Amino acid sequence: MSTYFTEDHEWIKVEGDIGTVGISSYAAKQLGDVVFVELPEIGREMDKGDEAAVVESVKAASEVYAPIGGEVTEVNEKLEEAPETVNASADSDGWFLKMKIADADELEGLMDEAKYKAYCDGL
């Protein structure tokens, strides 16, 4: 399994042709207490950069963008009942959606964990 990151603080964990998408713990800390999550519909086709979900915190509402293109195959319904899971476990249990990857070559434009950490350190 490989994990990639975007400059907008989304991550995608890739297993075969399925990518699990969430936001980084850095992003979750910046947002503050998450109070609501809007998830996409299963079966929705997305292009890289499309709005995939919305996260609302006590501070602000923020879009979650698709790190690559694909079709939504599953959503984390637990977040609808317990949006605070994003804060407690942004890098694992707080995932937003799973997608069937349309073009794995799109992963090449994303950062690995070391590059992402350096990117965040520079913010």
User: For the chain, how many structural domains are there in total?
Assistant: 1
CATH number of the domain bearing residue 54: 2.40.50.100
pLDDT for the residue 81: 96
Please, is 56 exposed, middle or buried when counting C-beta atoms within 10 Å of its C-beta (0-12, 13-18, 19+)?
Answer: middle
Q: 15 - beta bridge partners?
A: 18
Task: Using alpha carbons, select from 99, 115, 14, 104 the residue that is nearest to residue 65.
Answer: 99
79-83 own/partner pairs: CB under 8 Å, 24+ apart: 79/37, 79/39, 80/37, 80/39, 83/34, 83/35, 83/36, 83/37, 83/55, 83/56
What is the reported pLDDT for 67? 98
DSSP state of 27: H
In this predicted structure, what is the pLDDT of residue 102? 98
Quick one: pLDDT at residue 1?
A: 87
Q: Is the pTM of this model over 0.85?
A: yes
Domain that holds residue 117: 2-121
How many CB atoms lie under 10 A from the CB of residue 123? 8
pLDDT of residue 43: 98
Report the pLDDT value the prediction gives residue 91, as an integer from 0 to 100. Answer: 95
pLDDT per residue rounded down to tens, the chain (123 residues): 899 999 999 999 999 999 999 999 999 999 999 999 999 999 999 999 999 999 999 999 999 999 999 999 999 999 999 999 999 999 999 999 999 999 999 999 999 999 999 999 999
Q: Which amino acid is at 74?
A: E
